[in-house]
Amino acid sequence: MEAQRHALGYTWLRWSTTHIGHRLTGSPQGTRAEVSSDSLFRRSGLEHVQLFPFRAQAWSRGRVGLTIGDGSGFLHLTAVALANTPLEADVEAPLIDAGNGLPADLDLLGNALAGKVALVNIGLVDAPEGSRNLHRSEKAALALARGAAAILFVNQVEGGILLTGTASIDGTLIPVPAACVATEDGTNLRAMLANGQALTARLTMSNQSAVVEAHNVIAEIRGTRLPEEVIVVGGHLDSWDLATGATDNGLGSYSILDLARAMQAMPFKPERTVRFVLFMGEEQGLLGSRALVEHYRKSGELARIKCMINLDMAGHPQGFGVAGPSGWSDLIAALSTSIHQVDSSSYSGRVSEEIWLHSDHQPFLMAGVPVLYPLSDLGKHVYGCYHSSCDDIHLVDPQAMVNNVRFTGMLVYGLAAQEALPGQFSETQLKRRLTEAGLEGPLRIGGDWPW
């Protein structure tokens, strides 16, 4: 009832979008988001609050220009630079259609991609059945390995929407420029190439990058029975700079702030320690979560973490996903049934065992920690604004945030009350699980496959 009657997550998020704006790591706005989140944890009465510092390569955009030549004239197209692209670049080369940018697409091109500007879909378009998409940074790495001189990503959202995001797997600057164009412009360029027109693309950009100190914001409620066992509830606070990042990931991070407030206000505390973590640097390569997991590994703290619940673009949960060794799926199914019995009209109780990458759960998962996440569908109107200029507060449903706090909170209390929780992954179990999920290839591309 506390989460419903006294909800503050949406109010805090709306204030942030108005008074802070975007939350790009390394920017003044990012620092303000860190400080204000620290203050909100403390205002909510949590006694154990800290800023966890880490060093990050903070990239910020400058200017970008894109000109397409067909031998008789020029088109000047609107584009947006992807993050972690060069500080200065001026590349002019023939444009080549690289399809969806998957290994099979590049294999068809053979050596033809070398020295060319690759035109690549961010999503999957007319892909063979069963094809699995790759992250834009993985597609960039594959194109670079084939000698591409530059990369033009095509967004798949109609309406002239441009998308940003990192083109780098590890947060370092890639050696060639990469930018995004709208789906309408990409379709036009592909039609011209298909008609046999020889096109050249000139991509210029000027960006900034500097090493800065950023901070994960951490708060916890100590467990009453098993305080040495820790449940991490995390989500990234940072966002890209084209908009305010209301859904990606203000939706998750400000729900975490309100969950901490609600649990602190309750008359009974969880039996295990619940640690709330707002990560910075997620958008630039999971920098904050990687730094924290490495710190936990070195300090021995990692062994105390029973699971990590990741709220990234999490709206109204209809269930929870789980990636853990034997026992975890059955436990989540049982807890999900209990939540459904409390509110059968709003919560369907679905359970998924799908594993995905490129969010702050990944470093925990790769360290053997079981990971959980809410299952929610935000709708095409929200996903179309992902990393784009339209990601603002008008997309956020206040009740979805309330239900996020309610159902995630029920799950947390249920986990904390278990007599014993299932264990972490063994190395053998984790390798088998990742292989079964088809993630060995993407992890190898990213340099994160440890075997």
Confidence (pLDDT) at 257 = 98
- Domain range 2-58+211-445, CATH class: alpha beta
With the C-alpha atoms ordered 6, 9, 12, 18, is the resulting torsion angle positive or negative?
negative
Which region holds residue 279: left if phi is over 0, alpha if psi is between -120 and 50, else beta? beta
pLDDT higher than threshold 90 for residue 1? no
Indicate whether 418 pLDDT > 80.
yes
Name the pLDDT band for 58 (thresholds 50, 70, 90). confident
Per the listing, tokens 């947060």 go with 171
DSSP 83: B
Q: Rounded to an integer, what distance in angstroms lies between the CA atom of residue 434 and that of residue 445?
A: 14
Average pLDDT of the residues in 373-383: 94
Residue 24: helix, strand or coil by DSSP? coil
Cβ within 8 Å of residue 5, ≥6 positions away: none
**334 vs 419: CA distance, rounded Å:** 14
| pLDDT per position as a tens digit, 79-97 | 999 999 999 999 999 999 9
Tell me the two tokens of residue 41: 């944890």
The rounded distance, in Å, linking the Cα atoms of 229 and 121 is 44
The whole-number average pLDDT for the span 326-335 is: 98
Over residues 170-182, the pLDDT tens digits come to: 889 999 999 999 9
Q: How far apart are CA 305 and CA 314, in angstroms?
A: 22
pLDDT score of 106 more than 90: yes
Rounded to whole angstroms, the Cα distance separating 352 from 450 reads 25
Residue 206 has pLDDT above 80, yes or no: yes
Measured over the CA atoms of residue 12, residue 13, residue 15 and residue 21, the dihedral's sign is: positive
- Taking CA 133 as the corner, what is the angle to CA 390 and CA 379, rounded to the nearest 5 degrees? 35
Q: What are the sequence ranges of the domains in the chain?
A: 2-58+211-445, 63-208
Q: Where are the alpha helices (DSSP H) in 85-175?
A: 103-109, 136-145
pLDDT band at residue 315 under the 50/70/90 scheme: very high
Domain 63-208: CATH class, spelled out: alpha beta
The pTM of the full predicted model, rounded to 2 decimals, is 0.96
- Type of residue numbered 450: P
Question: 302 phi and psi, to 5 degrees?
Answer: -60, -35
Q: Which of 29, 54, 52, 33 is nearest to 211 (CA)?
A: 54
306 has pLDDT over 90: yes
Residue 279: how many CA atoms within 13 Å on its side-chain side? 33
Question: H/E element holding 444?
Answer: helix 440-445
Peptide bond into 249 cis (omega under 30): yes
d(CA 271, CA 414): 9
Q: Rounded CA gap, 239 and 299, in Å?
A: 29
Q: In the predicted model, is pLDDT for residue 194 greater than 90?
A: yes
pLDDT of residue 440: 97
Say if residues 172 and 144 touch (Cβ distance below 8 Å): no
